[in-house]
Amino acid sequence: MSSICGRSVKDSRSSTAAAIRAVAPKPRDWLLLLSLVLIWAVSWPVIKIGVGQIPPIWYGFLRYAVAALILFAVLVARGELALPPPADFPFVVISGALQMAAYSALTGLALTILPPGRASVLAFATPIVVAPLAAWRLGEDLGPKAVAGVLVGCAGTAVIASPSFAVVGRQTLAYAMLMGAATAWAITIVTVRGHRFTSSALSLAPWQMLIAAILLLPIAISVEGAPPTISPLGAATLLYVAPIATAFAYWAVVEAGRRFAASTMSMALLATPSVGLLISAWVLKEPINASLVAGVALTAIGIRLTIAPTRRG
């Protein structure tokens, strides 16, 4: 029998499954998930405007630096500021590096090329990766429906990206970056669900954001040069993205991730690109064509299949 961190895989999966069954989502948990959908749906067109004013990696750095300062101030005011305990430190590093730094950099760069609605659908296609990861890491049963869901979801993402297939170029690279972002987030979702926390999500969030900012700063300097001049419009987008779509939302997604199964989280968050697409079409006049509609439908069907009730070993 193989082992992970000195504990057998079988024992780890059993304890994880028991923990999941012990925490049933409450109405306030569903309300928290709904607020995430609305906040992040609005954030896509806002970030699209923002990265048009501020270079995307610098934008990600500023986003997380400001959000970290806000949450550190909250913790100081509550008298709860403390270093992450050793048991939670690996999660802090993984989340800060993947869910925040990598996801922000990849999606920001992609949004300089693609419209926000189309980009958000691919960036939120996490169940395509979550399903097999959760089967391996959490012992969730990857049955025939889940396998079909992954395949249909992959077909959906291919249809959405199909306009770029005729000519390989910047759009193809942008779609690849979005799938990389989705994979980074999928790894974090499964990590959150399988991790046994010793600290609250609020106490860990600013440290995650600090790690993201630290990682993004040298990349921004080396790739995009000196700190940019921030226009009033760019500052306005940061006023929404940093405190609301980052400081609050990233704390909330971790908190929700502790109460919902990994695949349920992904399915709920799939509503984000659908709502974001409608907002982008209304505000930014993003065109909605046949390939986009077909791709969204296939992706939604695929994700619905992946979140069918699963058995845990």
Q: What pLDDT is recorded for position 209? A: 95
Q: Which uninterrupted H or E stretch holds 92?
A: helix 89-94
Residue 56 has pLDDT above 70, yes or no: yes
pLDDT band at 30 (very low <50, low <70, confident <90, very high): confident
Using alpha carbons, select from 259, 223, 229, 279 the residue that is nearest to residue 39. 279
Which of the two residues, 104 and 121, has the higher pLDDT score?
Answer: 104
Closest residue by Cα to residue 87 from 202, 204, 180, 218: 204
pLDDT at 20: 43
What's the pLDDT band for 197 if we cut at 50, 70, 90? confident
Dihedral angle over CA of 247, 129, 16, 205, nearest 10: -10
Which comes out higher in pLDDT, residue 255 or 89?
A: 89
Contacts of 202 (CB under 8 A, 6+ apart): 71, 74, 75, 80, 251, 255
Is the model more confident about 129 or about 178? 178
SS3 231: coil
